Structure 1
Amino acid sequence: MQPQNDETINFAAPAAGARVTGPAEAGGGTYGRAAVPINNVRPTSPASGPTVAAAAGGTAGTAAPNKPGPASSPAAGAVRAASKTRTRLVVALSVVIFLVAAAGVVGLVRPGPVDRWLGAAPTTSPTPAPTTPEASPTPVLVAAAGGGTALTGDGVTRAIDPLVKSAGLGSKVHVAVLDVASDEVLYARNADTMTTPASTTKLLTAAAILDARGPSYRLSTRAVAGGQPGEVVLIGGGDPTLATAKNTLFPGAARLDLLAAQVKKALGTARPTRLLYDTSLFSGPETARGWDSSDIAYGQVSRIQALMVNAGRVRPIHNEFGGDPRSSNPADAAARAFAKMLGVPSSAVKKGKAPAGGRQLGIVQSPPMVQLTDWMLEQSDNTAAEALGRQVAIADGKAGTFDNATDAIIARMRALGLPADEANLYDASGLSRNNGISPTMLTELLAYAASGQQPALSSIFGGLPVAGWSGTMTKRFVKPAPNQVGQGVVRAKTGTLSGVNTMAGVLTTADGRLLVFAIMASGSGNAVTGRAALDRVAARLVGCGCS
């Protein structure tokens, strides 16, 4: 039986006669950017999927064991401790819109749940080619009123406390709910205590890499001349979306066939006879502490190496149940595929190091970082999360290892003024059962991202799956009927491990208030029942007139 590790996405073929929006229609390949409809009535059964708006632009050691924090009970109008208070736009929520201009391309990125507040229709824009110069995001703050009647802690407690305490949710439940405009904690249950976050860990990873690199940064895969005649060196840049050729797994991905064409052109009549591949950008263990032994076997994640194609998959596919076969040595497999394109025999492919100052023969670049984080969040891609986590460490001048990545992510959270002492990470994806994050950490992060104080972080919202429509939320909030109120309104990162169900995101209430929330439960004997119980809590918040 396949383990319940993380979320799985259905990429099955559409039904006969169904209209498919491909990369050409969506602007040349997109990663998320799903936008909810702009209307004043929440759909109970969406007639069509959301439109798509593409955005351009892009210390080693052992982590300490999780520390139990003080349990919190639900309290009306609970107020955060002064040590956790940050400067925030409180009078009016400022939602950041990125207008990213690159070679005449403009992309619109905004938090989906507040689209209708902004009153603008979602747009579609083409994704720039990898050779496009880096975009320079210009933040434009648009004031959005707190909207409607303010909620009270007592009202929210009456509404959701019975659901939070239901047996179906699990034996161990941690919840935090925050009104973004008023900066008031409306509900807190074990909110400051770390618990297993599963894939909600990816929210920290996304925020950290966007803070470190910015939304327009691209990852480069290069080929240089080796130290011997006829020798070519393929240098891995840590791009988890690198592909062998055009495919539908990662639209707009950098491609080895294009790199091979550049190398052939640069060499002219000379023929390469030997290929080295350099994976030195990443180092240390290739699997994390706390991963299940079956995670790689069942295709939940690949061995983390600086060079891989199709995220280490044996074939560029994505199965409905997540069991994509993975290579036992992704870098070697990628190098052999590249060697074949160059006409180099497999026997002449070796792992090695690029010479200092080697002449560059070609370069291909990933989509912008904002699109990589979109993909990671929407599809809950564990391999992408681990690769991007190591990029945070590299941006901070550290080696690309698991420990350095997790240390760097937490350091970024601390630098942003977030309660980093309530996060303890062993990986960047959430597959590790050793990870611990509190609901407060997650809601503080989401509220900070919505505040506009660090414009790059607002990009997170574009990648969050939309209830009933996209990514890991496609089949959520569909049934039973009470949960359907959340369709198109709840946008959240979900997390699933065996016995663990989590969700953290943003929603608007019936009164028009913007809330961020984190619901983290473990001890549920049935994954389907546990997720449905979790959805009921979020749906109740959507329909809440909790004044």
Structure 2
Amino acid sequence: MLKRVLVVLFVTVYFTSCKTVKLSRNIDQKLATSFFDNQFTGIYIYDVAADKVLYNYNADKYFTPASNTKIFTLFTGLEMLPDSIPAFKYAVNKDTLTIQATGDPTFLHPFFKDSTALKLAKKYKKVHLIANNISDKRYGPGWAWEDFDSYFSPEVSAFPMYGNVVFVQNQDSIKVAPNYFANKLEITDKSYGRKELSNSFYFGKNRKRETEIPMIINDSLLLNLWNDILPNKVSLLHKSALKPSTIAYSIPKDSLFKRMMEVSDNFLAEQILVLASSTLSDTLGAAKARNFMLENQLKDLQQKPRWVDGSGLSRYNLFTPISFVEVLTKIHNKIPEKRLFQFFPVGGKTGTLKNWFSGNPKPYIHAKSGTLGNNYNLSGYLITNSGKTLIFSYMNNHYMHSNSEVKKKMQAVFEELRDNY
């Protein structure tokens, strides 16, 4: 009996090894073309159940990750934030409510529309708001200055409102949120935008696409936005003798993470790190959260990353494919796949992967893309036809091809894994 078991085990190991060798050889052949001569490529593929590396190509080298950085932000949020988002801290003294910012991005956000702070503030005669408790600058290190009025580059702040953007719709008529800017938006023949150094917005009269234009966040604007919804009730404090310590909570954190990952929302990613820092200190700062994670949950990474922001907008970020697989494995080990996969865009189905990597007949890719000029990366989970879960990171930097050509080459590798492992 024992002899038979050993024979079966030997045969299984032998054929599995042969399959892995063949798979590796086939991927090597796909990479051994002139297409890859003038770009930098790294691939790491890991069978989580077998605890086995299936493929490693430049996986210990550092790459510009773009929005793959959000995988580290997701892990930070999962580890550091409670089940519901800490909207703010507060204290009450008779008829006065004092609110201290935590960085929650959902307050009156165009998608979430959370009104936790507004509902509480309506109950009091006076509202004091502390929103200067942040050490971060409005932009992350290395962000492109010319993106100041681009939808993907809202400013970071302690107490965001409306997603820190002006939201414009033009269907039967032009609608503006927040309402404060309804009579301040200039309708022009241009497309859309904002003056570089002021909250002066313009919008094309023939433009029909819903548009988000980042605001310049300062004390004056914050006070005006609050007093637009609660007239003559709100004032800003730089210090308070009363220490806000009671935490009010807004939406479930999974809702925030899903939105951040699915549409690759840079603003939400940056604010998640600010939020995470609120669990460490009253003085907010994304670097506190990043350093805490690197010194604790991420201290065992084989290659320590250069991690400078939450979104991946910065080209200063440097990560290896191995690091992404290690973090994705940590998340996989802690969270059931049903909950985990909801955070990630699905190939051929949702978010940033809606038009790529579709399954036949069912989806097989759950992953986060990362795109900057001449860079495209994808890291996440691949389900093979045999039911195995593979964790992968496939990174492409500094190419001169089109993004679609790069994605076709990647898809060939993914389908090889799906069909033959």
| Secondary structure at 1:492 match in 2 | strand
What does 1:18-167 align with in structure 2 at a 5 Å threshold?
Answer: 152-166=19-33
Q: Does 1:195 align with 2:63?
A: yes
What does 1:104-503 align with in structure 2 at a 5 Å threshold?
Answer: 152-166=19-33, 168=35, 171-214=39-82, 216-221=83-88, 233-243=98-108, 249-250=111-112, 253-255=113-115, 259-267=117-125, 272=126, 276-315=128-167, 324-329=212-217, 333-344=221-232, 350=236, 352-357=238-243, 365-397=249-281, 399-415=283-299, 417-419=300-302, 421-451=303-333, 454-455=334-335, 459-477=339-357, 484-485=359-360, 488-503=363-378
Per-residue deviation, 1:408: 2.4
What amino acid does structure 2 have at the position aligned with 1:539?
Answer: E
Matches of 2:212 and 2:343, distance apart in 1: 22
Distance 1:302 1:339, change over 3 A: same
Per-residue deviation, 1:279: 1.7
Distance 1:296 1:485, change over 3 A: farther
Kept in 2, the 8 Å contact 1:286–1:304? The answer is yes
Matches of 1:505 and 1:491, distance apart in 2: 6
Matches of 1:385 and 1:185, distance apart in 2: 30
What amino acid does structure 1 have at the position aligned with 2:138?
Answer: E
TM-score for both structures, normalised by structure 1:
0.60
- Cα deviation 1:151-198 (Å, max 9, x = unaligned): 843222223223334555661001100111111111101111121111
Identify which range, 325-334 or 297-306, moves more after superposition: 325-334
Per-residue deviation, 1:299: 2.2
Match of 1:132 in 2: none
Gaps of at least 5 residues in structure 1 are 1-147, 479-483
Distance 1:312 1:492, change over 3 A: same
Matches of 2:27 and 2:284, distance apart in 1: 42
- Cα deviation 1:101-159 (Å, max 9, x = unaligned): xxxxxxxxxxxxxxxxxxxxxxxxxxxxxxxxxxxxxxxxxxxxxxx967843222223
Matches of 1:458 and 1:202, distance apart in 2: 20
Per-residue deviation, 1:349: 5.2
Matches of 1:305 and 1:392, distance apart in 2: 14
Percent identity for Structure 1 against Structure 2: 22
Distance 1:265 1:316, change over 3 A: farther
| Secondary structure at 1:191 match in 2 | coil
What amino acid does structure 2 have at the position aligned with 1:294?
Answer: E
Q: Give the counterpart of 1:508 among 365, 372, 383.
A: 383
What amino acid does structure 1 have at the position aligned with 2:311?
Answer: S
Q: How many equivalent residue pairs?
A: 369
Per-residue deviation, 1:392: 3.2
Q: Does 1:532 align with 2:414?
A: no
TM-score for both structures, normalised by structure 2:
0.76
Distance 1:426 1:354, change over 3 A: same
| Secondary structure at 1:466 match in 2 | coil
What amino acid does structure 2 have at the position aligned with 1:469?
Answer: K
Distance 1:531 1:335, change over 3 A: farther
Distance 1:470 1:225, change over 3 A: same
Per-residue deviation, 1:459: 4.6
Matches of 1:320 and 1:500, distance apart in 2: 30
Distance 1:159 1:359, change over 3 A: closer
Per-residue deviation, 1:474: 1.1
| Secondary structure at 2:268 match in 1 | helix
Question: Which has more radius of gyration?
Answer: 2
| Secondary structure at 2:84 match in 1 | coil
| Aligned-residue RMSD, C-alpha | 3.4
| Secondary structure at 2:254 match in 1 | helix
Greater share of residues in helix: 2
Matches of 1:320 and 1:193, distance apart in 2: 44
Per-residue deviation, 1:358: 6.4
Matches of 1:390 and 1:382, distance apart in 2: 13
Per-residue deviation, 1:530: 2.5
Matches of 1:305 and 1:336, distance apart in 2: 16
- Cα deviation 1:313-338 (Å, max 9, x = unaligned): 11277999997310111765454222
Match of 1:36 in 2: none
Kept in 1, the 8 Å contact 2:107–2:117? The answer is no
Matches of 2:168 and 2:249, distance apart in 1: 19
